[in-house]
Each structure stands twice: as structure tokens, then as C-alpha cells.
Structure 1
Amino acid sequence: MNLSSHNHGGLDVRDAPAVRPDLVVSVTTVGSPDEGADLADYLRRNVAPGGFTEGVLADFANSLGTVPGLLSGDSHPQDALKGLDALTRNGVQPGRGHRDDVNQMLGSTNLFESNPRPVFRSHANRMKNAGL
């Protein structure tokens, strides 16, 4: 398998080759916070652990996380604080594999940044040319 993932999924998929090296040929992450997210570091530095503000923010984020489950009928427990810790520079494990970035928000692309289509095409061609 050639695995491609975006955003936080890039952090999750990086462990697949270690678990099933016989099945994974390559891993590509696009727009993944491989070096941590500045917002996560900011929140961890400025919001007291166990305090009122952390509790309110966690409840709000956990509530937002349940919306896709309610809409799809497939609900999973949310833990915003574990997610936050996983996105800090200290929480992110060193990456493996190939990484491309695109500057994309709500489907639009920045005039001066990579367009996602050529990034994915380029990676697909690299894999094809390598016989993968």
C-alpha cells in the first residue's frame, strides 16, 4: 500500500510501516504538523493545566468533535487535551517518509504557494516511476 494522508492523519499514518512493514510501500503526508503546531504550544504555555479555562476549552473542543459522529451515526469518544498534547512540539514524534506541503484553506489555494493537485500528481508519478 502507498499511504497518503492530510493534516493530523499524517501523524497517525506514520506508524503504519512499523506495524505492518510487509504491507506499506510508502507514506506521504500533506500539510501535517510534523514539527508540532504553534497554537498547541501557545495553549500549553498559557492555559493552566486543570484550570477553569482548560476545562472550558476542552469541553468546547470535545463537543465540536462529536458533531461529525452525530451526523454520521458513528460516534467515538473525544479527548481534546490528549489531541492538544499530541500536537505540541514535544508531543510530535520525528517523521518518516516523504512530506509535501500545500497552503490550502477551505478549498482555496494561495497564489504564491503550492497547488495541491500538482503535489499529488508529482507524488503519484514518483511512485509510478519507482515501480510502486
Structure 2
Amino acid sequence: MKRTLLIAALLAFLITPFTQANASTYAKTQYPIVLVHGLFGFDDVLWVDYFYKIPYKLANKGATVYTATVSPANSSEVRGEQLLGYIDQVLAHSGADKVNLIGHSHGGPTIRYAASVAPEKVASVTSVAGVNHGSKVADIVRAGLQDGSTLEGVAGTVFNAFANVLELVSGSGISALPTDSIAALNSLSTQGSQSFNARYPEGLPSSYCANDGKVLEDNGVFYFSWSGGSTYTNVLDVADPLLAVTGLAFGEKNDGLVSSCSSQLGYVIRDDYRMNHLDEVNQTLGIHHLFETDPVQVFITQANRLKSIGL
């Protein structure tokens, strides 16, 4: 009965127009929100954080927000285990029983792992352009690096060094968390994603692009997702040309690094925002499509959605 009432309440909310009444508590969820970055994520570089202005704006609307510390590059399982340790710290600090996880890009599989392994600690999973069925960009890179080859070793060293430089520049120093860019690449490939999905299937649609994932899984966790479906969104954004090029790897709607169909998980809020992979986290410096919803507002609205169903 409780499960039926929860689903009914969610469906009622989804068809109800949003308002900004009681703005100071608009995003005040019952459980803390934990943001989880994707590949090569960082704390902040020159005062610009990965989730640009999003934690501040959420907190300003009443949310309790944490930004997880996980390896900038490693496998989904390794990052997921690190996230579980971070969740324990959040629960101890906040006194809460559970958390609401929101992960971008590789943060998607990372939070799915945590929810699958320890559902008693997770109220909801929200995947933002999550690499849930792999990325064709990762497939191309993986195909160009023969397993065990010298080139693969050199590439791994270079990208690991890049991740460490990001940590240093962001002021966090090189963390004790291990960095393994090749393991990350394997996780983000189609083959790696399929293997991961076989072990942690919660929230997934019945098939690629079916868009029929369960919003409330048997493990008691609510699943949501959204993503962009555009690559070049603003001529002033210096990152857009690169994403326009990488987007050519896909023969379908994508955000430059992840296809819209690959991003689908649980209840799909939208998979066609006029946003690219960086716009989704309000990068670069908040520059996005002039006639699309502010990416920050999408996060705030999701927090309100979670609040409205008691999460």
C-alpha cells in the first residue's frame, strides 16, 4: 500500500505545474543531496567548480548539499565503493538515514552502483547524462588502444597525469584515491557498460532506448534521469566546437559525449534539452543555449520533485 501511494504521489506531482512558492524551502529535501562528478571531475579550478553554481543555488533554495570526493578517473565499481564511504560520512555528519544521489556522466553508473549495493542508504538516484549504455566516443578511443599495448600504457600515464594536475590546480592536492584512466575507459565503453548493467540493472529500461525504466525499484530506491540532445548550443562557449566534433561519432541524438538513449534511466524527465555535455552541469561558466531552461533550474526543480514525494 505504501509503495502504491508513493507512486501515485509521484505521478500526481509530475503532471502538476511547478511553482516557486516558499522559495527558501523550495528545494528542501528530507534527505541530503550528494552530487557526484563524472570523468576528470574536480573541486574547483580558478574558483570554478565542476557543478558550476549548482550547490550554492540549491542550498539557497533550502537544500542540504554535499559534493562527493571520488577518483577523477577509475572504474564505476571503484568509484562506487569510494562513494559508499563518502555517503557514510554524510550520514554521520548530517544525522540523516539516507541520501539523494545526483550523478553526471560517469557519475551516473557510480551512483547506480552505490544504490544497488547499499539501497538502505539511498533514497533516490538521479542520472544526468549518465553513461548507462556506454559511449561511442569511449568505444572509438578503446578501439584505438590495443589492450596491453605500449600505446595503451602511454595513454594511461598521460591521462592519469592530467587527472592529477586537475587535482593540484583545484587546490585539493593529489588525493590518496587511486587514478586509473584505462579502467575508466573500459567502464564507459559499450562492452564495459553492458557487463556493469548485468550486475546492477536497477532503473534500466527493458532495452536500449525503450524509455520504460521503473521509477521505484524493488530495492526501494527512486530512479530519475535527464540529459541534453544538442552539441553546439552557444557560439560564445569555447567548449562547444569540440563537443560538436565528438558528437559526430553518434548516428543519433546526443550531447557530444553521451547519446540521449544511453542516458535513459528510471523516470526520464527529458532526454532532449538543448544542452551539451557541459551545459548539463552549467559549464562553461554558465554559458548555455539562450532559449533553453537554465541548467541550474533543472537541478532545483528536481530537488523540489524529490521533496514533493517525501525524499
TM-score in same-fold range (> 0.5): yes
| 1:47 aligned counterpart, secondary structure | coil
CA contact (8 A) 1:100 1:119 kept: no
Distance 1:128 1:90, change over 3 A: same
- Superposed counterparts of 1:25-64, under 5 Å: 25-64=123-162
1:86 aligned onto 2:187? yes
Aligned residues between the structures: 132
In structure 2, the residue corresponding to 1:3 is in which secondary structure? Answer: strand
Alpha-carbon distance in 1 for matches of 2:167, 2:177: 7
Q: Residue 99 of structure 1: which of 203, 206, 225 is its match?
A: 225
RMSD of the TM alignment (CA)?
Answer: 2.1
Q: Is the 8 A contact 1:14 1:27 kept in 2?
A: yes
Q: Which residue of 1 aligns with 2:304?
A: 125
Task: Mark the runs of 5 or more structure 2 residues left unpaired by the alignment.
Answer: 1-98, 204-222, 229-274
Give the superposition deviation at 1:76: 2.9
Question: Aligned equivalents of 2:192 and 2:162: distance in 1?
Answer: 22
- CA separation of 1:49/1:114 partners in 2, compared to 1, >3 Å: closer, same or farther? farther
Aligned to 1:66: 164
> Which protein has greater RCO, CA pairs closer than 8 Å, 6+ apart?
1
What TM-score comes out, normalization by structure 2 length? 0.39
Bigger Rg, which one: 2
Q: Which amino acid aligns with 1:42?
A: I
Contact 1:48 1:54 survives alignment (8 Å): yes
Residue of structure 2 equivalent to 1:8? 106
Q: Would you say 1:77 and 2:178 are equivalent positions?
A: yes
Cα distance between partner residues in 2 of 1:113 and 1:54:
40
Listed as ranges, the gaps of 5+ residues in structure 1 are: none
The letter for the 1-side match of 2:108 is G
Cα distance in 2, alignment partners of residues 24 and 13 from structure 1:
9
Offset at residue 114 of structure 1 (A): 5.0
**One-letter code aligned to 1:82:** A
CA offsets 1:59-109 (integer angstroms, 9 cap, x no match) = 110111112444413343321111100000111233622111142142322
Name the residue aligned to 1:21: 119
- Native 8 Å contact 1:2 1:26 kept in 2: yes
Aligned amino acid, residue 154 of structure 2? V
Could you tell me the TM-score, scaled by structure 1's length?
Answer: 0.83
Residue 110 of structure 1, CA deviation: 2.9
8 A contact 1:27–1:98 mirrored in 2: yes
